[in-house]
Structure 1
């Protein structure tokens, strides 16, 4: 059988892989702090006997779009957005340290500060616990201050400071828990230069219009590969008939 059928089959498989990444981006177009996955196709010659006339197109992941999403004002005391480069350190379910840009923080019944997925937010001394308070303030450097219940507005107590890091985007990789982790498995050091703004959130940096156009384009390319497979099969059947006549 003509090798073209295998080339087309490989192309269709790789397009399906690229479509899954595009669909994942589209599904997270409204997810706070989400970074779009990037991918591109690479041409790889087929190794083997015969002339090198066949080229496979393989989808390769190119990391993530680390550009910042738009700033959305919420007015919520526990919402923070990282300004410029930097990440918020959290403790994932398996106990490892991860990093996120999703600053829609929460407090559980015990006062433990978590992100929207339930991961514990880390401070200077580990997990952060906020006591019952009439008011919570998060400074630009991540310092958390509260006005205890029953106290006047001038009574301010510093609780802890968010662990804000900036190890460099090239040092990070996405884990299966949806958090960024250092590639070498270590923990990043707190960076005092990272700044946050209270009462705002960073939206996803996915552009829904661009993603939809890319999905349509990939669908057309998939159809072309399927037609190529069908054409190769028809050519094989015609050649078989000619041989039978001979």
Structure 2
């Protein structure tokens, strides 16, 4: 009985973990540039003196779904989407370099170019500062230029170039803040082949229908594990009755 309880318990616990992952994906179905998290079950044999007939269930993070999301035209000058593979380099809260597909940009109170989540964009020469009373334009290669609104026609001034990278997807790991980093901890090199689409944003690559079906399937698996635990409880009760009669 105890063996059945332990094996069913591991299955139920990791089903709940995967339910949390699917729920997080569904919650970010409309988040700009979000990459769906992928999980998988794997069986770990129980090492004992008996026959190898029992296994524990372990939930492993397989990584992230790196397929591109749909590109939606917004017409906003500070909205950019990545065409194909690639990442935008930003500065995370701890000061390290991280990468995102969120191209919804803004100019902070200090004049720094940032994402809508507040991460400062990394330029090839450092953060990009935008002077006041200017209109920002972003080219397909990431070059940021401004035109003064005080003069008509105003002169164009190149401020810098956004750092665009394209590392191997297998070398990227997702952090708790939703940003990706190299598992080596070192900054990625610039990739001049990465291109941007101005006036557009990339949507989440989460398929809401598939996620809902997956959530229903996980709920059925959890019910099965609960049935096993209930059967173990009934078996223990019957065994207790038999021992009491004897």
TM-score, normalised with respect to structure 1: 0.96
Q: CA–CA distance in 2 between the matches of 1:139 and 1:212?
A: 39
CA contact (8 A) 1:146 1:156 kept: yes
* Deviation readout 1:197-218 (Å, 9 max, x if unpaired): 1100000000011101111110
Tell me which residue corresponds to 1:166. 166
Equivalences for residues 11-160 of structure 1 within 5 A: 11-153=11-153, 155-160=155-160
In structure 1, the residue corresponding to 2:35 is in which secondary structure? coil
Compute the displacement of 1:55 (Å). 1.9
CA contact (8 A) 1:133 1:146 kept: no
Compute the displacement of 1:154 (Å). 5.9
Tell me which residue corresponds to 2:188. 188
CA contact (8 A) 1:123 1:160 kept: yes
In structure 1, the gaps of 5 or more residues are none
Q: CA–CA distance in 2 between the matches of 1:228 and 1:75?
A: 56
Tell me which residue corresponds to 2:238. 238
Q: 4+ residue runs of structure 1 moved beyond 4 angstroms?
A: none
Tell me which residue corresponds to 1:209. 209
Q: CA–CA distance in 1 between the matches of 2:170 and 2:66?
A: 10
Q: CA–CA distance in 1 between the matches of 2:155 and 2:91?
A: 31
In structure 2, the gaps of 5 or more residues are none
In structure 1, the residue corresponding to 2:232 is in which secondary structure? helix
Compute the displacement of 1:116 (Å). 1.4
Give RMSD over aligned pairs: 1.2
